[in-house]
């Protein structure tokens, strides 16, 4: 069995950035059930929340899931506990970005896409995934 390595500072940091109370989530799984991108995530949204509740900082920070969250807010509108999950996903991304770890490398964006891309998707992607 894994030893509980409760990183309290990490929980507080996520709560500060997202202004969400992590303990509110009772793990019903509705967020994951409705998430259109859960199938692409290595850890589904409810598990990310659970890891944060437990203070599993490393597991949260190494998960790819937050980069697959499109901030579509479906989960937020369906959570029976009023947890704003996309804000929590953003908080995780924010921790990466403020540590200067980013997902997007402009040079690596598909050239064909770049030529004809809608400015809104480029702006949003750069905004969400780079510092």
Partner 1 sequence: MQVSYYPGCDLYTKAKVLNDSIKAAFNAVGIELKELANWYCCGTTFTLARDNKMSLIAPLRILSRAQKEDGYLLVPCSICYNTLKRANYIFKNDPDTLKIINEHLGENYNGGEKIIHPFEFIKEHKDEFKKGVKKSLENLKLGSYYGCYLLRPKNEVEFDDPESPTIMEEFVQLMGAQPVTFPLKVECCGSYLIVNSPEAALEASYKILKNARERGAEAIVTSCPVCHYNLDNFQSKIAGMHSDHQFIPVFYFSQIMAMAFGLPVEVWGLEYNKVNPTNLLKEHKIL
Beta-carbon contacts of 45 under 8 Å, excluding residues fewer than 6 positions away, are: 31, 32, 35, 38, 65, 69, 75, 85, 89
Q: Which stretch binds ligand SF4 (CB under 6 A): 8-16, 21-29, 91-99, 102-110?
A: 21-29
Query: If binding is defined by CB under 8 A, does position 127 make contact with partner 1?
Result: yes
Number of neighbouring beta carbons within 10 Å of residue 67:
18
Query: If binding is defined by CB under 6 A, does position 35 make contact with ligand SF4?
Result: yes
**Rounded to the nearest 5°, which phi and psi values hold at 117?**
-70, 150
Query: If binding is defined by CB under 8 A, does position 33 make contact with partner 1?
Result: no
Burial of 69 (0-12, 13-18, 19+ CB in 10 A): buried
Which residues bind to ligand SF4, rule: CB under 6 A? Answer: 25-31, 34-35, 37, 45-46, 49, 69-75, 79-81, 83, 85-86, 89
Which residues bind to partner 1, rule: CB under 8 A? Answer: 16-19, 36-37, 40, 67-68, 70-74, 76-78, 84, 86-87, 89-91, 94, 103-104, 109-110, 113, 116-125, 127-129
């Amino acid at each position: 069995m894994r030893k509980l390595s409760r990183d309290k500072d990490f929980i507080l940091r996520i709560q500060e950035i997202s202004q969400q109370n992590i303990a509110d989530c009772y793990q019903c799984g509705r967020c994951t059930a409705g998430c259109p991108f859960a199938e692409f995530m290595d850890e589904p949204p409810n598990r990310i929340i659970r890891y944060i509740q437990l203070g599993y900082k490393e597991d949260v920070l190494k998960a790819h899931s937050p980069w697959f969250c499109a901030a579509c807010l479906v989960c937020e509108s369906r959570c029976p506990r009023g947890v704003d999950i996309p804000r929590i996903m953003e908080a995780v991304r924010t921790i990466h970005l403020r540590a200067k770890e980013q997902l997007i490398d402009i040079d690596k964006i598909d050239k064909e896409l770049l030529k004809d891309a809608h400015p809104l998707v480029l702006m949003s992607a750069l905004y969400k995934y780079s510092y």
